[in-house]
Structures are given as C-alpha cells and as structure tokens.
Structure 1
Amino acid sequence: MNAYVFPGQGAQFPGMAKDLYSSSEKAKSLLESANEILGFRITDIMFDGTAEELKETKVTQPAVFLHSVVLALISEDFKPDMVAGHSLGEFSALVANGVLSFEDGLKLVSKRALAMQKACEINPSTMAAILGLEEEKVEKICASIDEVVVAANYNCPGQLVISGSHKGIELACAAALEAGAKRALPLPVGGAFHSPLMEPAREELEKAIDATHFNPAKCPVYQNVTAKASSDIDEIKENLKIQLTAPVRWTQSVQAMVADGATHFTESGPGKVLQGLVKKIYREAEVSSI
C-alpha cells in the first residue's frame, strides 16, 4: 500500500517550486491563484527570496504548504491508500486527500501561521531537540520541571523535540544531558509550538476551522494528535483543532500506517526530511519523492 507524507515548517528553501511553476501550466495556475488568495505575491519570495525572507511567519507555512500540495495535485501518479502530514503538513495532506479545497486549505494555513506568531508574542517561548534518550525518560523530565515544558514532536526513535518556556527548556536540556542524552539542541524557532503556550492560536484557529467546509476523505488520514487512521469528518476537524497544543506523534503515525499495510512512503513537498524519519522508524520501508 502507498502512503503519502507531507512535510512541515523548516522544509523551505530559496527557489522552492520555481521549477514546478515553469514546467507545468496547472502548477502555474495554482500558484498564481495562491498569490490572489493571500493578497501578496508569495511566489516572488519562494522563487527569488532569501532564506531569511522565507522564514517570515506569513510566508513560511503557506510556502511549504503550496510546494507540497501543488506537487500532489499535478502528479498523475498520486493515488494514495493513506496520507499523513507532519504538523503543518497535515493541512497539505487534507487538501491532497480532497477533505479541504485548495483555497480553504491555504486560507487556514495562512490564519494558522499568523495566529501562531501572535501566540509567540504573547508567550515568549522556544523548543529543543533531545537526541539519544528514551521517550519515557524525556516525558518524566518534562513532568518534573516546575515550568511549562512538554514533549512536542515524536519524530523518530531517539529524536524527541520538547517545547515550552525559555526557562523550562533550559532546565529540561540540562536534565536530559544529565540523564544520558547524546545531545540537547535548542532550536531556532519563535515559540513553543505544540504546547499549552499555543492556546491563543488554537482558539483562533478553531473558529476558522468551524467556518470552513470539509469534504469526505478519499482515503484515511493518520492525524498527529491520535496517530490513528481517520475518515470521519467530525473527528478530523476535532483533531485538527487541538493539533497546535498537542504533540505531533509522527513515530506512532508511521508505525500505525505500517501496521495497516503501508510498504511504500512517498514524500510530497520540499526536501527529504520525512523520508529519513520513516527509514529510522521502519527500516524496511521503501521511500521516494514525487
């Protein structure tokens, strides 16, 4: 069975999707409509902007979403048996899966990015990657600290990202190293994504999701919050609403897809980060890009 996976924030690079725009009329049409929907020419930044310009909040998430979705929508071979996306990538997966229209997906991603930026300004915070320590130990360390700090991204065995206040992350990193972690790396991000500190953004996004039309899923989507297959529209919406304050269970999602028959994982989007994670979770998996 074929699983298609969609990357999240951080996969962007200067010149992204430029080749798609110049080689496919359908891609060009979708990207031009994105410029109109967003109210600015995001393609100018994607194609010719610097890495720093691509990091701007209103640009990063829509840019990764657009590259990922356009690849899937113009591919004649896109016939998924199941889909999943890492954080932001879940929105790409839902558009590719027919649950959200291209326009509605892009609008939600844009609102999500701006809401997350506001939440970061309300609660200054950060994230860190803990390498080479068991999940249970990292979870216990987070729970033992008298600050907001939680497990945020279960990326693959031995790689868990934590999220929280600056003080909480500092204390957790020190405790993780003391407990035997190979490394504890602060990440260059603007806030504590997938933690309780994103509550203001969650509330804002919830209203936008409630106002958006969702279609029946063409195939199951394995969502970050539950790491289980879902085709029920109400369930998909509820999981999407709490995604910003809940952890990304990527390891568990890939394990669930494999248990349900996935043998080939195709990444749709910029970069190859998810292919690397999939191989670390399940070595026998075949991986490729669109």
Structure 2
Amino acid sequence: MTTREPRPVALLLPGQGAQHPGMAVELYDREEVFTAAMDEFFAFLPDGGAVRSDWLTDSPRVSLDDATRAQPLLFAIGYALGRAVAAQGIHTSVLLGHSVGELAAAALAGVFGLADAAALMSARTEVMAHTPAGGMLAVAATPEEVLPHLCAHGNGLGVAARNAPKQTVVSGTEPSLSTVDLAMSRDGLFSRRVPAVQAFHCPAVASAARAWEVAFARVPLCPPSVPIVSTRTARRISDGEARSPEFWAGQLATTVLFWPALDALLAGGRFTLVEAGPGGTLSVLARRHPAVRRGDSEVVPLLPSRPEGSWKSWDAALSRLSGP
C-alpha cells in the first residue's frame, strides 16, 4: 500500500464580514500558543484591553461588526491561528489573505513585526473613523453585471471584492449604497448586506488609504519569509512591493481579487487550503473552485462557521493536517 504525498499547506486568512460573536473564544485560555499570540497583540494595541473585553463578552460595548472591533480581531485571530498551526509542526508553504487577512499574512511572513502591526491596525481604525457612513453588499452577479448600476448611482461606489465567478461585493457610502441596492434588486440581482458599517475597497476611502500610507512609512518593511499571493494583484508579492508603503496602504481602497488570486495559486499546484479564521466564508468559496471539486486540492477550515464547537473543529483540523 502506498501513502499519498501530503499536499503543501496554503493558509487562507479572512477579512471583514467573517466576524461573529464568540469567534474562536473557545480556543482562548485553552490553546497555549493561540492565547499567547492574542495577548501579545492586545498588549501592543493602544485600546487592546477594550477590544479584548468586547471579544470575550456576550454584551460588547461596541458591536463586533464595527471596524474598530472586527478589523483588529480578524487580524489577531488569523495571526494567532497561524502561529498555533506552526507550533504544531505544520509548515505553511504560502499565504493568501482577504482584505485585513492580507495584513495578518504579512505579519506571519515577517514583513513587519507584531508591535508594528498593532500600530498599523490602530492607524487603519483612525483613518477609517473619518470616512462617511457606508457599508458593503454581497451580490450574486459578475462585476460586469454590477458595474452599470455603480456608474449610474454615485462616484464613491465600487467593486470591493471579486470572491467567485458570480459573487461580487459592492462597497460605498450612504445613501448611494442603499440606492444602488434597490436598483439592483429591481433588475433581478440578489444582494445581501455584509456585516460592516464602513465602506472598504472603493473610491470613497481613497483619501483614507493615502493617510494610512503615512503609518506604513514609519514601519520597517521586509521581504516575506513565506510567499504571499496578494489579493490586490492576484500574484505573489515581490520584494519591492513588500517594502512599499503605498502597496500596503493602497489595498484599503482597491478591489480584493480573492478568486483571481486563488485561481493563480491553484494553477501552480495542489494544496491543502487551510482557512485560519472565523466564519468559514473562504472555505465555502474555495470549495467552488474546479481544482477543489475534482480533488486536486482540499479545504480544511480551522474554525466552524458558528461560535459553538471551535475547539472540536480545531482538534479535527489538526488531526487531518497531521495525519498520513
């Protein structure tokens, strides 16, 4: 009997919209490396105590859908899971992050240290606090079907993410976002609100991206020690891009090319796609890819889509990743 050669691990790190109450809380104080990484990040984050409290309570003072909570927590959970996976002796061959997940990927790859990452996340929150109220819509349509509506209903609207061939995220400020939502519905395009109360990855936050670039200019930036397939460019990040403040800050206002990036990754070989974050959204998307459907690559989420069962899901994922 022959043993199948294990596939290399590609870590997928989710972004805004994946958050939910109770996410990964069962691992805290139970998985040593995960807990230490979370506490280390909270210690560096200026309002880390408040973020930690809102994460661990059933009655948060600030909603976890607000960027001041969702963004640092998604970063921290993705980073801490990556560290915990490595501590189990599981080698990550490549990283792919969605929106703020790409920042977690950069930290895991050593582009910047955790203290600097906390400063960058704090600066991200600060620049976004000065943007108008807005949000995002997940639309069951192609970008080509969506774009005419965006052009007709406001300059601040944009395609925030290309998540799958017929799954596009639209972002913008109010009231334009609600107007375009109604117009698309009248045209038979189904949409739903992404859990977010700010616009990301659209022209409306271009000035915030430029302001955020100042924070990156203060931070030492290094080439990644682990390859990162960027969802800004849908290809591997070059050493020059990794050292560029504009490359990282500009991500805030540009489209997240998740599906093209995943396509580029899977065109290069067979992988075990490990989702290191809550919600299971990236796992659902990845399972639609032809390379996964035909069995060339597989998907292993570390956490469940709901808060209950996080420890069981983590344990089961480790068994799969460590098995023959």
Normalised by the size of structure 2, how large is the TM-score? 0.79
Task: Give the Cα separation in 2 of the matches to 1:231 and 1:23.
Answer: 37
Bigger CA drift: 28-37 or 152-161?
28-37
Deviations 1:47-106 (A, max 9, x none): 224366433433221111111111111222442222111111011111122222122222
Partner of 2:59: 50
Task: Give the Cα separation in 2 of the matches to 1:190 and 1:217.
Answer: 32
Q: Is the 8 A contact 2:224 2:242 kept in 1?
A: no
Q: Structure 1 pair 166/43, CA: closer, same or farther in 2 (3 Å)?
A: closer
Partner of 2:322: none
User: What amino acid is the match of 1:130?
Assistant: V
Q: Is the 8 A contact 1:3 1:262 kept in 2?
A: no
Partner of 1:244: 252
Task: Give the Cα separation in 2 of the matches to 1:239 and 1:64.
Answer: 21
Q: Structure 1 pair 14/97, CA: closer, same or farther in 2 (3 Å)?
A: same
User: Alignment partner for residue 228 of structure 2, among 206, 218, 221?
Assistant: 221
Q: How does 1:176-215 map to 2 (within 5 A)?
A: 176-181=184-189, 183-215=190-222
Q: Is the 8 A contact 1:16 1:47 kept in 2?
A: no
Partner of 1:98: 110
User: Alignment partner for residue 63 of structure 1, among 66, 73, 77?
Assistant: 73
Task: Give the Cα separation in 2 of the matches to 1:134 and 1:271.
Answer: 23
Unpaired runs of 5+ residues, structure 1, are: none
Q: Is the 8 A contact 2:11 2:94 kept in 1?
A: yes
Partner of 2:177: 169
Give 1:281 deviation, angstroms: 3.3
User: Alignment partner for residue 14 of structure 2, among 7, 20, 29?
Assistant: 7
Q: Does 1:72 align with 2:82?
A: yes
Give the secondary structure class of the aligned counterpart of 1:221. Answer: coil
Partner of 1:157: 165
Q: How does 1:271-290 map to 2 (within 5 A)?
A: 271-282=279-290, 283-284=292-293, 285-290=297-302
Give 1:18 deviation, angstroms: 3.3
Task: Give the Cα separation in 2 of the matches to 1:162 and 1:82.
Answer: 28
Give the secondary structure class of the aligned counterpart of 2:29. Answer: helix
Q: Does 1:20 align with 2:27?
A: yes
User: Alignment partner for residue 82 of structure 1, among 67, 89, 94?
Assistant: 94
Q: How many residues align?
A: 285
Partner of 1:148: 156
Q: Is the 8 A contact 2:223 2:242 kept in 1?
A: no
Q: Is the 8 A contact 1:2 1:262 kept in 2?
A: no
Give 1:170 deviation, angstroms: 3.6
Q: Structure 1 pair 49/197, CA: closer, same or farther in 2 (3 Å)?
A: same
User: What amino acid is the match of 2:213?
Assistant: E
Q: Structure 1 pair 112/78, CA: closer, same or farther in 2 (3 Å)?
A: farther
Q: Is the 8 A contact 1:127 1:164 kept in 2?
A: yes
User: Alignment partner for residue 139 of structure 1, among 126, 142, 147?
Assistant: 147
Give 1:236 deviation, angstroms: 5.9
Task: Give the Cα separation in 1 of the matches to 2:169 and 2:45.
Answer: 31
Q: How does 1:25-44 map to 2 (within 5 A)?
A: 25-39=32-46, 40-41=48-49, 42-44=51-53
Give the secondary structure class of the aligned counterpart of 2:120. Answer: helix
Give 1:193 deviation, angstroms: 1.1
Q: Is the 8 A contact 2:222 2:243 kept in 1?
A: no
User: What amino acid is the match of 2:95?
Assistant: V
The answer to which structure has the higher helix fraction is 1
Task: Give the Cα separation in 2 of the matches to 1:277 and 1:3.
Answer: 15
Q: Structure 1 pair 35/205, CA: closer, same or farther in 2 (3 Å)?
A: same
Q: Is the 8 A contact 2:275 2:282 kept in 1?
A: yes
Task: Give the Cα separation in 1 of the matches to 2:32 and 2:136.
Answer: 40
Normalised by the size of structure 1, how large is the TM-score? 0.88
Task: Give the Cα separation in 2 of the matches to 1:205 and 1:145.
Answer: 27
Deviations 1:16-47 (A, max 9, x none): 34333322333333333223212442333222
User: What amino acid is the match of 1:106?
Assistant: A
Task: Give the Cα separation in 1 of the matches to 2:238 and 2:35.
Answer: 31
Task: Give the Cα separation in 1 of the matches to 2:255 and 2:91.
Answer: 28
Give the secondary structure class of the aligned counterpart of 1:185. Answer: strand
Same amino acid, percent of matched pairs: 26
Unpaired runs of 5+ residues, structure 2, are: 1-7, 303-324
